């Protein structure tokens, strides 16, 4: 189950079992969960954790939907995907290793 702000993003009743979680529906559900995570991260001023998810067919970059969402959230200016994908995880790791890390 995917959690957000202390409650499930997808209630267990709507979460498919492993037999039905395949193909296009699985990708759509994963994309929706990643977009929700991105919106929450952006609203809280945190680095985008979804930058760590790379698409199998996009080389070493996230899928196009990641960049579209990041741009809509004001976190990507559309100019340099490689630089953006390097900077977000770097900010994430820096934040985790900083003095406020648990």
pLDDT digits (tens, 9 = 90+) for 28-84: 888 888 999 999 999 999 999 998 887 766 677 888 899 999 999 999 999 999 999
Taking the whole predicted model, whether its pTM rises above 0.95 is answered as: no
The secondary structure element, H or E, covering residue 8 is: strand 7-8
- Both tokens of residue 66? 């990641």
Instruction: Kindly compute the dihedral angle of the four CA atoms of residues 11, 16, 26, 66, in this order, to the nearest 10 degrees.
Output: 10
**94 has a pLDDT exceeding 50:** yes
């Amino acid at each position: 189950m995917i959690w957000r702000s202390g409650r499930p993003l997808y209630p267990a009743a709507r979460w498919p079992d492993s037999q039905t979680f395949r193909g296009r529906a699985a990708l759509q559900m994963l994309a929706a969960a990643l977009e929700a995570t991105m919106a929450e991260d952006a609203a809280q001023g945190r680095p985008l954790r979804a930058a760590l998810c790379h698409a199998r067919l996009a080389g070493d970059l996230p899928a196009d939907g990641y960049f579209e969402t990041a741009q809509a959230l004001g976190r990507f200016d559309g100019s340099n995907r490689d630089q953006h994908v390097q900077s977000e995880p770097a900010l994430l790791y820096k934040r985790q290793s900083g003095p406020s890390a648990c």
